[in-house]
A and B are shown apart, each in its own frame.
Chain A
Amino acid sequence: MSTLSKELFSREAHRSAFLNWRLGNGNGWLYVAKVLLAMSLAYYASMILELPHTRSAALTVLIVMQPEAGQVLTKSIFRLIGTLFGLIAMLTLVALFHQQPQMFILGTALWCGVCVSGAVHYRDMRSYSFLLAGYTVGMIGVPAAITPDAAVNLAVGRMLAVVIGIICGGVVSAVIFPRETAGSMRNQLVSRVGRLCGFARASLLGTLDRDSRNARGRALAAESVSIEVLRQAATVENLQLKQKNPLLKALNRQYMAMGTRLHSIGRLLEQLRSRAEESQAEATILARVEPVAAPLLELMQRLEKAPPQPQVAGQLLREFELIEASLKQNIRDTRADLRQQVTDREAMERFDTLVELMVRFAEQLGQYLRDYSRLDDEKAPEFDTQYTGFRSHTNPLYAVTTGTRSALVILFVAWFWITSGWESGTMSIQNAIIAAVLTSTVPNPNKMAQSVAQGAIVGCIVGFIVSFFVLPYVDGFPLMMAAIAPVFIMGAWMSLSPRWAGLGFGSVVNFCFVASPDNPASFLPQQFANQSIASVTGFLMSCVLLALLFPPSGRWLHRVMLRDMRDLAVKALTAPLPGLAAQLDSRSRDLLNQTYNMSGGQPQQQQIALEWCCHIQEVGHAVIELRTLLRSETLKDTDPDTPWRQTLDQMGRALSRLYIKPGARSFERAMEQVELAIEQLRPALEPEQEHFSNSPRRQLLSYLHFIKVSLLDPQGPLAMYREQNNATLEQGVAHAA
């Protein structure tokens, strides 16, 4: 055998190929197998117990088994609680209003609206309860209302089927090859150190242009949010990990802060680069920047290639301390040199700002590595618990409008059903409720509802074939499962890929509605045709209405989210300092993530949101550092009546006004105040021979300069106000001339 074929057929090659497959497609097939197993169990249990409505069990299994794993048992318990509440609400409504259909529909719509609002508003386990409460009402409510004398039996029977679905789905998910969140979180923590170092290296070298910087910023925001979700899941699952919770939160917070700093460094370098073409001073500075950070860059390159495990990071700490010290020394030397060569004061201030950011970044990186190396320690490290955690909550307005939308959808479909007297309308309204409830928490509900409606048509066709050409010939449970397994395999496999997820989900859901084997089995073509038409109509109506009423991609919601983001800047100026930087980081990224998800197909709105987020983060952090410096030991005893202190306060107020209501005038005022503050501070600076780290006023000046640079950013969100001001100035000049 030649060496090539020996390599191809060797055990090593097989093993690595198998591992690659297992981490990629293998996971998908495992998920499909788990869904199939859970379905079989659910069907078996409901058939053995002779429950009236086996399709509810099958449907519930589908809804419960999502590809993302973690905390399955806790989710199941919350879902069971939600089902119970749905049952109680439904029976109450039936008992009160079974003679008045309009009131009954109103009550159902109201309850579903409240459930959807709750599901969207609460991002933790409670959202699962709300989802299932609304879903239960859809499954059991309307049929129970039609036959009020058998309502309790029907409702309880269907609820039992739902409970069986939840239990089967939960147990199979949790027991068969579960995906442990703790493991995947640790993997992410390790791999993102490498990503951070790559980002750091690119930023420090200034090789990122605006678009790639924005893309990285956006990726970092999504990563922070997802790792926060993983952290919450893993610390509940794993009680040992729970003791390390403060450490994990601190790691996340530091990571986000470093991301912001790197973004600012990248931007400053880009500006320096663009100015270096015109001015000699900037060119000199630019040439000296890279050698300053050379040892740090070399370390970043090593870490990017091979992201370190926590123990390895511990060994790196000594080396990192040396690098930090040499960085500071380099900066001092370079500053002394440049002061002799460069006379442009503004250029020197720009240099000061840039290296101040670099030093701070290096300090933060050192702290991060120190904490990261303690990740695998046996004993949990001590931490200050001032930071209360990633505050993530949805805008209440968004939750209320989503709930109202769902309620209106249900009202409309029900009105249609009552006035037309359509007998199969019960199926229609069931599907409308389920479509409205299940697509509420998805990032892009309209698109999801559309694909689900398309999938419903596919499901009907497949259901027809299976129901009338396959199932009549099978006998016994194993053959029945074998007959319908291909449908579920296809549906589960499709729901794994993001493009076909809605279609797959819709087709299997509708298959369960119209063609699922029932107890007793029925093969009536008329009933099938009626139910198919009704179910597809229900999905289509809800999809159309959801797209028309208050779509989440509307401009008004986007404006509300931007206003929330600007409020963060105002908070940075006025709120109490402890934990403020972390709050700014987490809230801004959370808002960015939500806005990005809501404006799915509108890149321009996403771009605006990203620009505002970066701007608010930069200015917010600079303001927080300013305020911290003012409170530090050396500065807090200065007389508050000194001119530079007063102008700083005025600047703070002008900035608040700018962010509360951005406009050309407030922008002009804010710019004036910032420049005034810089002018007033310059005479009060410490002598230049002092070390930068011992001269807080020079540090203040560097932050003021940074704020000015952010405000003047030609591609930032405030650029249009600057252009407006320039335009009016030119008009004024033209008029005067």
Chain B
Amino acid sequence: MPREIAFYGFYFPTVTVLFITALLITWGVDRILAGTGLYRWAWHPTLLRLAIYVGISCALTLPVYR
């Protein structure tokens, strides 16, 4: 994966784009998990959401710097 993505002359770091993508994916996963009622068992639901986001964004961004 390239380190930077060019967009009409602007160079965006790929990591930034992947962070935003991970945010959207996490939002979708969050809606699904909330429907199943997982968050009732979670000790700290927001922390769980944050952890899911960190996991997904790490998974996405590791290939960039591999």
Taking beta carbons and an 8 Å cutoff, which residues of A are in contact with B?
Answer: 73, 171, 174-175, 178, 239-240
Contact = CB atoms under 8 A, between A and B. Distances in A.
Interface string B23-59: 0000000000011010110001011011000000000
B40 A240 contact: yes
A178 B46 contact: yes
Contacts of A240: 37, 40
15 contacts: A73-B46, A73-B49, A171-B50, A174-B46, A174-B50, A175-B44, A175-B46, A175-B47, A175-B50, A178-B46, A239-B34, A239-B35, A239-B39, A240-B37, A240-B40
A174 B37 CA distance: 20
Contacts of B34: 239
Contacts of B46: 73, 174-175, 178
Contacts of B44: 175
A240 B46 CA distance: 15
Nearest to B51: A175
A178 B50 CA distance: 13
Contacts of B40: 240
A73 B34 CA distance: 15
Contacts of B39: 239
Contacts of B49: 73
B36 to A, nearest CB: 10
B39 to A, nearest CB: 8
Among A73, A239, A240, the most chain B Cβ lie within 10 Å of the Cβ of: A239
B15 to A, nearest CB: 12
A240 B40 CA distance: 9
Nearest to B40: A240
A174 B47 CA distance: 8
A64 to B, nearest CB: 16
A239 B35 CA distance: 8
B49 to A, nearest CB: 8
A178 B34 CA distance: 19
Interface in B1-25: none
A73 B50 CA distance: 10
Nearest to A173: B46
Given A239-B35, A240-B37, A240-B40, 12 more contacts: A73-B46, A73-B49, A171-B50, A174-B46, A174-B50, A175-B44, A175-B46, A175-B47, A175-B50, A178-B46, A239-B34, A239-B39
A180 to B, nearest CB: 9
Contacts of A73: 46, 49
Contacts of B37: 240
A347 B58 CA distance: 79
A174 B50 CA distance: 10
A73 B40 CA distance: 18
A671 to B, nearest CB: 58
B23 to A, nearest CB: 8
Contacts of A174: 46, 50
A240 B33 CA distance: 12
Among B35, B46, B49, B50, the most chain A Cβ lie within 10 Å of the Cβ of: B46
Nearest to B16: A160
B21 to A, nearest CB: 15
A425 to B, nearest CB: 31
Contacts of A239: 34-35, 39
A73 B35 CA distance: 19
A384 to B, nearest CB: 25
Contacts of A171: 50
